[in-house]
A and B are shown apart, each in its own frame.
Chain A
Amino acid sequence: MFAWLKKPASETQITHGQRLWLYVLAVIIMVLLVTPTLIVIPMSFSDSQYLEFPPRVWSLRWYEHYLSSPEWMLATWTSLKTAFLTMLVATPAGVLAAYGLHASQVRFVRAAFLFLITPMMVPLVLVAIGVFYVYAQIGILYTLFGLVLAHSILALPLVVIVIGSALKSYDMSQENAARSLGAPRWKAFVTITLPQIRFAVVTAALLSFLTSFDEVVVAMFVSGGDNPTLTRNMFNALRDQIDPTIAAISTIMICVTTFLMVLAQIFGQQRAAKD
């Protein structure tokens, strides 16, 4: 241990000992980053009305409460549907856009790209109230359709960026090769380009799903009625009092996120292995 402290930690001959402060600081920061999220998990299994850690009596009552509540079930179902449909809208639209912008040499490609990523820069509240008003006018407020469209523009920038950067590192002469061998352009894209950026497409799809699933502010305004999202109901519940049911739902959401992340990671590793 002490020998390790005297070993050089970098090419500039700083020893691990001299860097100890950095290691300690980093560990503290990393602990602070993850624990607040993870501590919710054991707390959700507490029997107490006041979230305890560690729980004195373990129980599944908050999960039971969640699963037996028609409101929470409806909200969960809406969130899942919305996220799934958002993924189905944003991914193809974003992939096509990224490819179109990458392949066409029109002068305003850069402007179009910036335009497509503006939803990322406009404050969410503004999107929410603007969409709220317009939806109310045309009568699609509180519909799945409207919510999916609104979430799709929030997911689009991520898809365009992820696919765009994948295309940048992709050798377009492969597509030319396919065309010279007799494939029309669309076929060259489908048989040659698409299979090679498939990991980016999967990543983009997962990101779209998560973007919609986690979104609060827009959902607060344009979801509701028959179609409230999970996040909308959670937010409203948070403003009132600390309901332990939220801990159970949070745990489930963390699991969903972690699952999707692991999925993306596996795809990422396959990509690394292929390269």
Chain B
Amino acid sequence: MQATPANASGLRVDEKLERMKLFGLSSPALLLVLVILVIPVGWLFYVSFLGGNGQFSLENYQRMVERSSYMRIFRTTFEVSLVTTGLCILIGYPLAYFLSQIPPRIANLCMITVLLPFWTSLLVRTYAWLVLLQKQGLINEWAMALGLWDEPIKMVHNMTGTLIGMVHIMLPFLILPVYGSMKAVDRDYVKAAANLGASPRRAFWDVFFPLTMPGLFAGTLMVFILCLGFFVTPAVLGGGKVIMVSMKIVSNIELFVSWGAASALGVVLLALTFAILWVASRFLKLDQIAGGGH
């Protein structure tokens, strides 16, 4: 055998160059996100630590803890998000189950009812609910015509309207991943459970449901995260009675031009979002391991 040719360094350079060239293809996208997202958000982070006099201060955060109005906003945000997510699960899971059980041809047709709202502008859908739920709206009109109630009920510009609108807008985000994980469940599992003596109900809860947990978890996470930062629907359907964090941020800027307060709220919202994602990422892995064990 001959001695190794002394080309190791050349080859190493070639390899690095090729990798960097390929990786470089993503640089326009990375740069875009850096400049348009990271720098502005980083700046907000910085501003949130500036006091009224332009010096470093925690006053923006202190205010958040001290003033009960801020605490109320955070509580409202969490309440709305939790209730919306819960309703989405209660409504979305059965529908996804229905879609996964019927013949694929019909399922594809039914899927349009999920996809159409998914792709329709959120503003259009919010507007539609505004029209339907208002005092002279269709629902009040019909309900009174049917004799369900005598006086028009106030269903919009309050919590009810906000929740109805948000559940409607978030549902596809839950249904799609759950449906995906249901389609991925091998039907033989349920057959095996039945063969081993499980009743259909037991087979569903012992076998099918646990196997769809990853999809349900992903959908739930998605809905909850989106709810936390939601703006348009509560702003329009809440009528100023349901104030969520993102709305307070906007009003801080639009009405009070108070960048410090808005930024601090934004930083807390972002931190909450990432904290939830971080915690969830641990569970999601655990969950997948558990799912693989079945």
Cβ-based interface call for A242 (8 A): yes
Q: Is the CB of B259 within 8 A of A96?
A: no
Instruction: Assess A30 versus B250: contact at CB under 8 Å? Given A36-B129, A125-B266, A134-B40.
Output: no
For residue A254, which residues in chain B have a CB less than 8 angstroms away from its CB? Answer: 120-121, 124
- Contact mask A174-186 → B, CB, 8 Å, 1/0? 0000000000000
Query: Across the interface, do A32 and B273 meet the contact criterion of CB distance under 8 Å?
Result: no
A9 to B171, CA, bound (A): 26
Query: How large, as a class, is the contact surface on chain A?
Result: 35 or more
- B-side interface size class: 35 or more
Tell whether A129 is near chain B: CB-to-CB under 8 Å: yes
Min CB gap B94→A, angstroms: 6
B262: min CB distance to chain A, Å: 6
Contacts of A9 on B, CB cut-off 8 Å?
101
Q: Which of B127, B130, B259 contacts A133 (CB 8 A)?
A: B259
Partner-binding segment picked from B30-38, B52-60, B65-73, B144-152:
B30-38
A-B contact count (CB 8 A): 245
Encode A11-33 as 1/0 by CB contact (under 8 A) with B: 11110000100110110011111
Also in contact, A242 and B134, with CB within 8 A (given A22-B97, A33-B113, A126-B41):
yes
User: Is the C-beta of B75 less than 8 angstroms from some C-beta in chain A?
Assistant: no
Determine if A123 and B273 form an interchain contact, defined as CB atoms under 8 angstroms apart. Answer: yes
Give CA–CA (A40, B134) in the complex, Å.
Answer: 14
Most buried by B among A33, A109, A217: A33
Q: Which residues, 213 to 261 on B, are CB-close (under 8 Å) to A? A: 225, 228-229, 231-232, 235-236, 246, 249-250, 253, 259
**Residues from chain B with Cβ under 8 Å of A257 in the complex:** 119-121
* Stretch with Cβ within 8 A of A (4 or more), from B2-10, B177-185, B186-194: B186-194
Contacts of B35 in A (CB 8 A): 149
A87 within 8 A of B: no
Q: Which residues of B contact A202 (CB under 8 A)?
A: none
* Minimum Cβ distance to chain B for residue A137 (Å): 9
Cα(A76)–Cα(B121), bound, Å: 14
A237 to B184, CA, bound (A): 45
Question: In this assembly, does A261 line the interface, its C-beta being within 8 Å of a C-beta of chain B?
Answer: yes
Which residues of chain B come closer than 8 Å to A153, judged between CB atoms? 32-33, 36-37
Q: Are B23 and A100 in contact (CB under 8 A)?
A: yes
Does B114 touch A at the CB level, under 8 Å?
yes
Instruction: Tell me how far the C-beta of B233 lies from the nearest C-beta in chain A, rounded to whole angstroms.
Output: 10
Residues of A within 8 A of B28 (CB): 93, 96-97
- Please determine whether B119 and A97 come into contact, CB atoms closer than 8 angstroms: no
Q: A216-B232, A231-B121, A257-B120 are in contact. Are A30 and B95 (CB under 8 A)?
A: yes
Residue among B39, B119, B125 making CB contact with A261, cutoff 8 Å: B119
Given contacts A32-B168, A216-B123, contact A131 B95 (CB under 8 A): no
Instruction: Confirm or deny: B138 has a beta carbon within 8 angstroms of a beta carbon on chain A.
Output: yes
Compute how far the CA of A23 lies from the CA of B272 in the bound complex, rounded to whole angstroms: 39
A251 closest partner in B (C-beta): B124
Provide the residues of chain A in CB contact with B262, threshold 8 Å: 129
Complex contacts, B168 vs chain A, CB 8 Å? 32-33, 36
Stretch at the interface among A62-70, A113-121, A165-173, A192-200: A113-121
Is residue B131 contacting chain A, with contact meaning CB distance below 8 A? yes
Complex CA gap A149/B225 in Å reads 24
Inter-subunit contact B33/A40 (CB<8 Å): no
**B44 within 8 Å of A by Cβ?**
yes
**15 other contacts beyond A37-B125, A40-B128, A156-B29, with CB at 8 A cut-off?**
A26-B95, A26-B98, A33-B114, A39-B131, A97-B29, A101-B26, A104-B19, A106-B19, A115-B30, A121-B225, A216-B232, A234-B123, A235-B232, A238-B126, A261-B116
Some 18 contacts from A to B, beta carbons below 8 A apart, are A11-B191, A22-B101, A33-B117, A34-B116, A40-B128, A93-B29, A94-B29, A106-B19, A106-B22, A124-B229, A127-B37, A129-B253, A131-B40, A214-B122, A235-B232, A238-B130, A257-B120, A258-B119
Residues in chain A within 8 A of chain B (CB atoms)? 9-14, 19, 22-23, 25-26, 29-34, 36-37, 39-40, 43, 50-51, 53, 89, 93-94, 96-101, 103-106, 109, 112, 115-116, 118-119, 121-127, 129-134, 149-150, 152-153, 156, 160, 210, 213-214, 216-217, 231, 234-235, 238-239, 242, 246-247, 250, 253-254, 257-258, 260-261
The interface of chain B, by Cβ under 8 A from chain A, is: 19-20, 22-26, 28-30, 32-33, 35-37, 39-41, 43-44, 91, 94-95, 97-99, 101, 110, 113-117, 119-132, 134, 136, 138, 168, 171, 187, 190-191, 194, 200, 203, 225, 228-229, 231-232, 235-236, 246, 249-250, 253, 259, 262-263, 266, 269-270, 273-274, 277
